Every structure is written in C-alpha cells, then in structure tokens.
Amino acid sequence: MWAAFAKPEDFPNLGHEAIDDEHENIARLMNELHDAIHHRVALSEQRRLHHELETYVRVNNRSEEQMMETDSYPNRESHHKAHEAMYRKLYEYEKVLQAGREDASLQGLHALRELLIRHIAQEDSRVASWHRIHNISADSPD
C-alpha cells in the first residue's frame, strides 16, 4: 500500500467549505495521476488524468476569482497572475508527461504539488484572511 502523494492535510484549510472541498479534490486527482505514473498505466490514461486535474484547477481558480471579484478583493489582479503562472506550469508538465519518462513525470508532478500547496498556503490564505478581517462570510450566497 502506497502512502498518499498529496494528502488533504498538506493543503491548508482556508475556512471556505466550497474552496476547501475543491482543494481536496485537487489532492485526490494528483494522487490518481501519481499512482497511474508509478504503476505505469497507459500514457493515454495518464493524459486523461492530467486533463482532469488541469480542468479542476481551472474550475477552482474561477471560483476563487469570482469570489474575489464579488467581494472587491484588492489584490485580485496579482492573484489572477499567479493562476496564469499555474496554467503555464500545467501546460509544461503536460509536455513532460507526453514524453513518457516515469522519472521526469514524477519529478514534474512533485513540482506541481509544491506549487499548488505554496499557492494555497500563501495566495489563497491571504484572500481567506482578508475575508475574515473584513467580516465577509466566505460561504455567503452571491
């Protein structure tokens, strides 16, 4: 039995149920992709999992950006740029994955995991703190 590659507890809880759930799903997808690479599952399945991960990261980022826009978060432009950088890394990783080298694919996935954890711990945590300071309910309806 393998230990989880990306554990939910590695991803800081922001106190926003919907966003935290999305982060847990990102961790789950990273684990599925990690296992597929490690067990040398067909490259087509690895690419499908990468596509699912990328799609889910984009869904999560859109949710965050919508929330920041609705609540007039002052640093939303820099946060958006961080999301754009994340998309570039996901695209670069797709090329590594397509090459089919297990060692490079696993190294790239480790780098992606660290990037996502750092983004959540720094960028997303700033948004959550701003919401708390300004008494904005993170789970309030639009």
Domain that holds residue 124: 13-133
Whether 141 is covered by a domain: the verdict is no
Is 4 within the bounds of a domain? Answer: no
Q: How many domains does the chain have?
A: 1
Residue 142 lies in a domain: no
Residue 67 within any structural domain of the chain: yes
- At residue 137, the pLDDT reads 61
* pLDDT score for 141: 44
Please report whether residue 123 resides in a domain: yes
The full 3-state SS of 34-51, as one line of letters, equals HHHHHCCCCHHHHHHHHH
Is position 3 within any domain?
no
**CATH code of 29's domain:** 1.20.120.50
Q: To which residue do tokens 């684990």 refer?
A: 31
Task: Indicate whether 7 belongs to any domain.
Answer: no
Residues of the chain under the 70 pLDDT cut = 1-3, 137-142
pTM: 0.86
